[in-house]
Amino acid sequence: MRATFLIAAAASLLAVAATAAPGPGEIVIAQAAPFSGPLAPTGTHIRAGIQLYLDRVNAAGGVHGARLRLVSKDDGYKSDETIRLVKELAREAKPVAFAGIVGTGNTEALIKDGVLAEAGVPLVGARSGATSLVKPVNPWIFQVRATYSEEVDKIIQQLSTIGFKQLAVFYQDDPFGKDGLAGSEAAARKAGIELVAKAPYEKNTTKVEEAVRIIGAAQPQGVIMVSNTAASAEFLKQFRAAGHLAQLISVSVTDGPQVAKKVGNEVAHGFGIVQVVPDPNSRGVPISRELQDAYERFKPQGIELNHTLLEGFLIGKVLTEGLKRAGPNPTPRKLRDALEAIRDFDAGGIYIGYAAGNHAGSRYTDITILDRQGRVLR
């Protein structure tokens, strides 16, 4: 209840956040993301990660002497709200960039509506691994994560090495889930794996009963889950309660420790999650160490040290690198051109690179498993 209250309080503060255009010596970055609804923890942690990196930069004097300010608004994970708020932010806040927009359908809606092109403002780090966001290349979108196709390919590689031949796919019935489903089908064909069941659930819900029935009846050895945290937790709970023992592995939009909190450590034990950033608790990875130090110094309230927070932190770091290269008094176009010129940037143990024909940024993937304490292990 305390965590829910803190998230709600944070959302209220964000709803009244100042959207004024940048003042003297200030650079504005804007975000529309879910701070209410089932994806509130995702939006909140992505925002907190970006803010932590900006806090770190501002404490050191900013970028070319300019202070960085993040303006965020709650879209509730609704595509029409994302479009409305991004247009509003572009008009009122005059940002040099958008960052940390959450959701495949939400980001695809911005592309279809031409919002980013019309505003002439780049988006750095959409929280989506959809192939459609990197192929064909959109000149205004710069990703910092692997695609869902690369994630499910990693899952199938892992399961095929231990002899699994029959898998199922649980997916969200929207562009995000269908992108992961298509990637699963392609990877399965390549690996000689049979997909014995494919079952969707409705976006923004945890209505998984029918998917549990369909997949359970097919008796797969493993299940690829293209689902968010809330739906993943509900599927896991019902699937295990029905007596099914298949290995479950989700793509990275699911937060493993949050799943453990929802269903209990015993049920969550052995649940797998693909990660697109390194372990945030490792002192051996430079960017994780930077995150931990910033987390300790600036102490964000109600925020956990997790992979989603690190993804937001990485977005902030890549964006800042682009601003440094864009020079003093950056414009959105100068930033866009500076980002596109980045090659093999070492962001602290994870490498980011762009080109005119490639805005994917990163191909990093890893598979983690929840232990009996609900902790993420490699």
pLDDT on residue 38 = 85
With 0-12 / 13-18 / 19 or more C-beta atoms within 10 angstroms meaning exposed / middle / buried, residue 298 is: middle
162 Cβ partners below 8 Å, 6+ apart?
none
Residue whose entry in the numeric block shows the structure tokens 């659930």? 201
Q: What is the mean pLDDT of residues 292-296?
A: 98
Asked if pLDDT for residue 160 goes beyond 70, the answer is yes
| Percent of the chain predicted with pLDDT > 90 | 90
- How does pLDDT run across 250-287, given as a tens digit for each residue? 999 999 999 999 999 999 999 999 999 999 999 999 99
With 0-12 / 13-18 / 19 or more C-beta atoms within 10 angstroms meaning exposed / middle / buried, residue 13 is: exposed
Q: What is the mean pLDDT of residues 72-83?
A: 97
- How does pLDDT run across 192-229, given as a tens digit for each residue? 999 999 999 999 899 999 999 999 999 999 999 999 99
Asked if pLDDT for residue 14 goes beyond 60, the answer is no
Domains and CATH numbers, the chain: 2-146+283-361 (3.40.50.2300), 148-275 (3.40.50.2300)
CA angle 335, 142, 41 (to 5 degrees): 115
Using DSSP's 3-state secondary structure scheme, residue 165 falls into: coil
Task: Quote the mean pLDDT of the chain.
Answer: 93
- How does pLDDT run across 168-190, given as a tens digit for each residue? 999 999 999 999 999 999 999 99
Q: Which residue has the higher pLDDT, 17 or 223?
A: 223
Distances (CA, A) of 32 to 91, 97, 138, 209: 14, 12, 19, 31
Q: Which amino acid is at 57?
A: V
Number of residues that make up the chain: 378
